[in-house]
Amino acid sequence: MGNLPLEGYRVIDFGWAAAAPRATCLLADMGAEVIKVETHRRLDPVRFGPDNTERDPEKDPLFHSINRNKLGILLDLTTPEGKSLIQDLIKKSDVVVENFSPGVMKRLSLDYEQLKKLKSDIIMVSFPGVGSEGPLSMVVTYGPSLAALAGLDGLIGYEGERVLGMQQAYADINSALFGAFAIQVALFHRERFHEGQYIEVAQIESLLSTMPEPVMEFSFNGRNLKTIGNLDRKMAVHNNYPCKGEDKWVSIAILTDEEWGNFCRAIGSPPWTLQNEFADSYKRRQHREKLDQHIGQWTKTKTPYEIMELLQSVDVAAAPCADTEDRFTDPHFQFRQNIVNIEHPATGLDFIPNVVCKLSETPGTIRRPAPMLGEHNEYVFGEILGLPQDTIQSYIDKKILY
């Protein structure tokens, strides 16, 4: 594979949905051998996401994105033989990752206490929704419900209106970053002290860590922050404004008086910019709605990219509100190769996000597409575990392997 920083480490990935799979994807991008474990009784639900219009388990875009670079095995974990195969594989691995509901791994005899008996220095990572202990530890959660419980949803909506919430799996993706970091810390610790450990990344706590302002506001001032839409408490100009074209918008943010002056000159200093109610930042905040109306009338006459070029030329923060097409056609995205094409046996071609962290000496790479169902059974059980072909075939005949 070349000079990849995590080359030589093996990760057993029981993850499904997004939290654990995204964390292990980051490790796989950097060279770790990640083996995704699926059971035929319950496939990863991300194989059937809303963008998978054909309902084909081999063609889901999100699955392909967060499971690239991985090997895939498919077996029946409810059988003694299936459990034995997984246990043998764990003995030859460094890390086990899962994000099932609390108790699932214990029922499979694959909890940390059992894994330590298989390999004393194993590292195990769990991504429970709200944590394995506490009054809510057994609740069932998904990404949107975690955002609600963490209080993040309560901040999202237009000013003075009802809560809209995120309705996104932000908890999954956010906790994945913490999990990938924790795994590397644990591997470093094991290299120094020759011991494994158990890591718990409660997804709700990863969300709480991203919301210091509402926590501090209540702690110091006893005040509950509410929905404010796109508004900012410091910037009078901080919004998305309508542009020329169908449902086209531009984001503009102005913090200082100098930026405000640059903005006014860039748009030709129309008479409304000289009105006393916009004379300083305090007055502009007091008359924010009227100010937004004036700016919106100007932005409607231009495209988002025209506005960006004009305002950025005078050091005013402005950027188009990119849609899906823009992410493929934007010259900067193309130059940076933010989206790359890789071949996949089911789709022919995948368009997936590139490796984000660009290390000068040990850069990560996308080496293979997301695995097909059971695609690497032969390699994993034949080459890694050393099982003869007739034994593997007997497991297939008994529907232990698929």
How many alpha carbons fall within 13 Å on the CB side of residue 280?
Answer: 1
- Could you count the other beta carbons within 10 Å of the beta carbon of residue 220? 8
Q: Which of 367, 276, 280, 263 is nearest to 316 (CA)?
A: 263
Name the superfamily (CATH) of residues 10-209+337-397: Crotonobetainyl-coa:carnitine coa-transferase; domain 1 (3.40.50.10540)
Tens digits of per-residue pLDDT, 98-145?
Answer: 999 888 999 999 999 999 999 999 999 999 999 999 999 999 898 889
Identify the pLDDT of residue 200. Answer: 98
Adjacent-strand bridge partners of 384: none
The answer to whether the beta carbons of residues 33 and 124 sit under 8 Å apart is no
Q: Which long-range contacts (CB under 8 A, 24 or more apart) does 48-55 make?
A: none
CA angle 268, 270, 276 (to 5 degrees): 130
- Residue 250, H or E segment: strand 249-254
Q: Which two tokens stand for residue 300?
A: 């409607």
**Domain boundaries along the sequence of the chain:** 10-209+337-397, 237-326
Q: Is the pLDDT of residue 85 over 90?
A: yes
Spell out where 148-221 has E strands.
197-200
Q: Which of 76-85, 174-183, 319-328 has the lowest mean pLDDT?
A: 319-328
Kindly state the average pLDDT of the residues 304-313: 98
The pLDDT, as a whole number, for residue 327 is 86
- Residue 173, φ and ψ in degrees, nearest 5: -70, -40
Tokens of 200: 């718990």
Burial of 316 (0-12, 13-18, 19+ CB in 10 A): buried
Lowest mean pLDDT segment, chosen from 157-166, 192-201, 292-301: 157-166
Q: Is the dihedral of CA 387, 89, 188, 358 positive or negative?
A: positive
Q: Give me the CATH code for the 237-326 domain, please.
A: 3.30.1540.10
Question: d(Cα 337, Cα 333) in Å, to the nearest integer?
Answer: 6
Per-residue pLDDT band for 311 (boundaries 50, 70, 90) equals: very high
pLDDT tens digits for range 212-232: 999 999 999 999 999 999 999
Q: Rg for the chain (alpha carbons), in Å? A: 25
DSSP letter string, 46-107: GGG-TT-TT--TT--HHHHHHTTT-EEEEE-TTSHHHHHHHHHHHHT-SEEEE-PPTTHHHH
pLDDT at 168 over 90: no
Contact indicator for 371, 36 with CB cutoff of 8 Å: yes
- For 141-161, what is each residue's pLDDT tens digit? 988 899 999 999 999 999 989
Cα separation, 84 vs 276, in Å, equals: 77
Burial 327-346 (b: 16+ CB within 10 A, else e): eeebeeeeeeeeeeebebeb
Strands 123-126 and 33-39: unpaired
Closest by CA position to 36, among listed 19, 11, 65: 11
Sheet with 123-126: strands ordered across: 71-75, 33-39, 10-13, 95-98, 123-126, 197-200
**pLDDT, averaged across the chain:** 95
Q: Are 94 and 10 in contact (CB under 8 A)?
A: yes
- State pLDDT tens for residues 346-376: 999 999 999 999 999 999 999 999 999 999 9
User: How far is residue 113's CA from residue 93's CA, in Å, rounded to a whole number?
Assistant: 16
Q: At what angle do helices 19-29 and 170-193 cross, to 10 degrees?
A: 50
Q: Which residue is it, tokens 């939290």? A: 19
Q: Which of 112, 133, 106, 136 is nearest to 124 (CA)?
A: 112
Give the Cα separation of 301 and 242 in Å (integer).
9
